[in-house]
């Protein structure tokens, strides 16, 4: 790949391989002439438009109206339309600043901005959407060093927002939590099944019997939500309530924490009465209590993850 000098050569190289598995991924290659190659799962596209803007979408299946729904794309397109085209570092930095993302929820967003002067072989880096400080590299000098790794965060001044992001715990950077969500979901499902069967076969006059019918519904809902939390990374970074780009059910599930918050007090109230009156079997009381304890722990996690922060 290093021997390729034009985007046409890069395209010929990539065409030898299957790039259809790059689901939701887009790569862009640019050569010294200004030509570019867009690599996505569905197609390879070349062009030479000086005003070309690309964001988090596949251009082959996304029209301009849909593209402009993304604020950073819209900002970049408007910036280029309103300003005379320039290739100075100041102009490119202003464009990058216009298109950067900084989400209110955690302060996270654009991790790294790079401006490439391909004629001079100079790369200018900005870290974590801070455009007041930059580092420049000579591409030729770096290539002469051979294979090596640069820890970019250590090259820049301390950034409190980035420190908060690196210390932010989610199921996607803490495997124990992700595995726990899986087992919690399985536990909710099994106990929901247990209480439903128990409701069908217990005596009709049993105290608080109707709670056993109510509980499986909440258990199934929470089982599904554990799956959602374990498979959708955007929930932890985008504003609450999380709005999934294509799945309305996942978007609707963002209100499940509020449902749990509403029912947790009645659940503990019934839990206390059932224990003090000893009106259920020991296994039923134990499972009911353990479920409520897990619900309480999850509520604390939901607060930490900002799932209730709908007014931010």
Kind plus residue range of the DSSP H or E element containing 298: helix 282-304
Question: Which of 194, 223, 199, 197 minimizes the C-alpha distance to 212?
Answer: 199
What the block records as the tokens of 163 is 């420190």
- pTM of whole model > 0.85? no
* Domain extents in the chain: 86-163, 175-304
How many Å apart are CA 40 and CA 19, to the nearest integer? Answer: 7
pLDDT of the residue at 57: 84
pLDDT of the residue at 204: 67
Residue 111: phi, psi to the nearest 5? -80, -45
Question: Which of 1, 3, 15, 7 minimizes the C-alpha distance to 33?
Answer: 7
Q: How many Cβ atoms sit within 10 Å of the Cβ of residue 135?
A: 13
pLDDT of the residue at 23: 75
Q: How many Cβ atoms sit within 10 Å of the Cβ of residue 311?
A: 6
What the block records as the tokens of 153 is 């965060």
Low-confidence ranges of the chain (pLDDT < 50): 1
């Amino acid at each position: 790949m290093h021997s390729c000098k034009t985007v046409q050569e890069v395209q010929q190289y990539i065409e030898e391989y299957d790039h259809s598995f790059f689901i939701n991924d887009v790569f862009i290659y640019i050569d010294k002439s200004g030509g570019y190659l867009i690599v996505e799962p569905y197609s390879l596209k070349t062009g030479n438009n000086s005003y070309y803007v690309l964001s988090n979408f596949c251009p082959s299946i996304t029209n301009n109206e849909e593209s402009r729904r993304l604020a950073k794309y819209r900002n970049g397109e408007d910036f280029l339309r309103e300003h005379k085209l320039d290739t100075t570092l100041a102009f490119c930095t202003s464009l990058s600043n216009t298109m950067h993302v900084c989400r209110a929820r955690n302060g996270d967003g654009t991790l790294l901005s790079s401006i490439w002067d391909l004629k001079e072989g100079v790369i200018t880096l900005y870290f974590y959407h801070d455009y007041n400080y930059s580092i420049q590299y000579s591409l030729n000098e770096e290539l002469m060093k051979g294979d090596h790794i640069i820890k970019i965060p250590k090259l820049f001044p301390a950034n409190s927002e980035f420190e908060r992001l690196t210390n932010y715990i989610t199921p996607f950077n803490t495997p124990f939590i992700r595995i726990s969500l899986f087992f919690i979901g399985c536990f909710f499902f099994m106990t929901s099944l247990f209480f439903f069967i128990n409701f069908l076969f217990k005596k009709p006059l049993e105290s608080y019997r109707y709670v056993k019918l109510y509980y499986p519904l909440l258990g199934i809902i929470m089982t599904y939500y554990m799956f959602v939390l374990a498979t959708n990374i955007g929930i932890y970074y985008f504003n609450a309530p999380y709005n999934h780009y294509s799945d309305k059910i996942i978007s609707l599930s963002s209100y499940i924490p509020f449902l749990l918050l509403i029912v947790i007090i009645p659940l503990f109230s019934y839990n206390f009465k059932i224990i003090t009156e000893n009106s259920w079997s020991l296994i039923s009381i134990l499972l009911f209590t353990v479920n409520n304890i897990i619900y309480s722990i999850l509520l604390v996690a939901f607060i930490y993850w900002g799932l209730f922060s709908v007014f931010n």
